[in-house]
Structure 1
Amino acid sequence: MSASLPATPSGQPVKVWDGFIRLFHWSMVAIVALNLFILEEGDVAHRWLGYVAAGGVLARLVWGFVGSRYARFSDWFPTPARLRAHLSALRRGEPETHLGHNPLAGLMILTLLSLLLALALSGWLMGTDAYFGVEWVEELHEGLANGLQGLVVLHVLAAVLMGRKLRQPLIQAMVTGYKKG
């Protein structure tokens, strides 16, 4: 379980996020930002970036089983027991320390990955003969995109707030790959 930290001198940097995780994360940030705010829906670039995002998510799912320690689902998968323990600690004002993702962050990651795949699938369906111009598919795609926007905002706020609470620069860690031990 990631709640116990490895034996390192206090405050020493520990490599947590490998290159693949950081590349995946920032690629998804760029793709989502481009597709939500810059590219027109239905543009060729919009569609292809959706396919790239889907491929990235599938690669991330594989990496969750074969990647580095903190990238593996086994390190941070939000089981009911892990979620209960984490929420209890938060309610007591004693947040657990996790080098990798805490259980709530793990739940967010799984939700974001699922949304990205659902967006790619619904976007692909809109281009097929069977679903081209079908209103419910277009509404589903738009609803998923709106949900993604909201969850991204929540994700960033949580990273900033938890980073401050734990005195751990979480966003910086996703750039450098290192967190304080």
Structure 2
Amino acid sequence: MNDTWVSRADNDAHAPGTVRILVWDAPVRVFHWLMVASFAGAWLTAESERWRLLHATLGYTMVGLVAFRIVWGVMGTRYARFSAFVRSPRAVLRYMASLLKGRPERHVGHNPAGAIAIIAMLLMTWAVGVTGWAAYNSTGGEWLGELHGGLANAMLALIVIHVVAVLASSLLHRENLIGAMVTGYKSGRANESIRTARWGFAALVMAAAIAWWWTQWQAAPQASAPNPSAASAAHLRTDGDGDGD
């Protein structure tokens, strides 16, 4: 059953009969913003030896989030399921053609072009995670570290393209797609809404992420505090040597 295929002639998101409906469940939204935060943090700490553990922790967080998203893509709510938005190449071409004509097909969930970007980012996250693990554990030589960096750069480029496409789609469809990923709500017909946000599953995802971060924090090597007695003794020895001169 194709739940999100609603590419009717009424491309206007605010056409008569539309209301504010719940489209994105809470687990999808928590997954999305945890991925954004984790990638940003991993990217900013990539070149720092001091923050190496944090970089690895955020990278593993992304891999775990992708594992959850795959499961949720099978058992999740209406618009979270892969079967609802992964389309054939023909459907993607048809959607792209509608964009060029200035009359984009309307999709309550992900559109066919956006689905390609989503699948690509899920696969790329795993590739970046595997090469990052190998580089972090000095497995396979320096070339894996270089491959890890190259894949991370490619993923950043894909994310930039995705953001630009979302902004462009927001203008074309006359609806705030970024805001929808925050609130979960879009414009549509009443019978197109999902029944519940599934906050319980979202809380489990958030709790798992926090628990993982906490275990990594506890395992982090603690910086040794300076010994005041040793420092005082060293100071006295230095003063004594000076007096002898």
TM-score, scaled relative to structure 2? 0.68
Counterpart of 2:151, as a letter, is L
Q: Which has the larger radius of gyration?
A: 2
Name 2:161's counterpart in structure 1.
Answer: 154
State the 1:81 CA deviation: 2.5
Number of residue equivalences: 178
- Residue aligning to 2:5: 3
Q: CA RMSD in A?
A: 1.9
- Counterpart secondary structure, 2:27: helix
Q: What residue number does 1:104 align with?
A: 113
What displacement does 1:96 show? 0.3
Pairing 1:1-181 to 2, within 5 Å after superposition: 1=2, 2-4=4-6, 10-38=17-45, 40=48, 43-128=52-137, 130-131=139-140, 134-181=141-188
Instruction: Decide whether the 8 Å contact of 2:23 with 2:186 is kept in 1.
Output: yes
Q: Deviations over 1:42-86 (max 9, x none)?
A: 711111111111010010011001000100001100322321221
Q: Is the 8 A contact 1:64 1:71 kept in 2?
A: yes
Residue pair 1:3, 1:96 contacting (<8 A) in 2 also: no
Please list the CA deviations of residues 109-154 of structure 1 after superposition, one character each: whole Å capped at 9, or x if unmatched: 00111111111100011133532xx221011100111111111111
Change (3 A) 1:150 1:129: closer
1:165 maps to amino acid: L
Report the Cα distance in structure 2 between the residues aligned to 1:175 and 1:59, rounded to whole angstroms. 19
CA contact (8 A) 2:73 2:82 kept: yes
Residue type at the aligned position of 1:158: A
Letter matched to residue 152 of structure 1: I
Contact 1:125 1:137 survives alignment (8 Å): yes
- Secondary structure of the equivalent of 1:71? coil
Question: SS where residue 79 of structure 2 aligns?
Answer: helix
Distance 1:139 1:94 in 2: 43
Q: What residue identity is the alignment partner of 1:166?
A: H
Which segments of 5 or more consecutive residues in structure 1 lack a partner in the other structure?
none
Query: SS state of the match for residue 13, structure 1?
Result: strand
Aligned position for 2:198: none
**28-37 or 81-90, larger mean C-alpha shift:** 81-90
Aligned mates of 2:139, 2:74 — CA distance in 1: 35
What residue is the counterpart of 2:207 in the other structure?
none
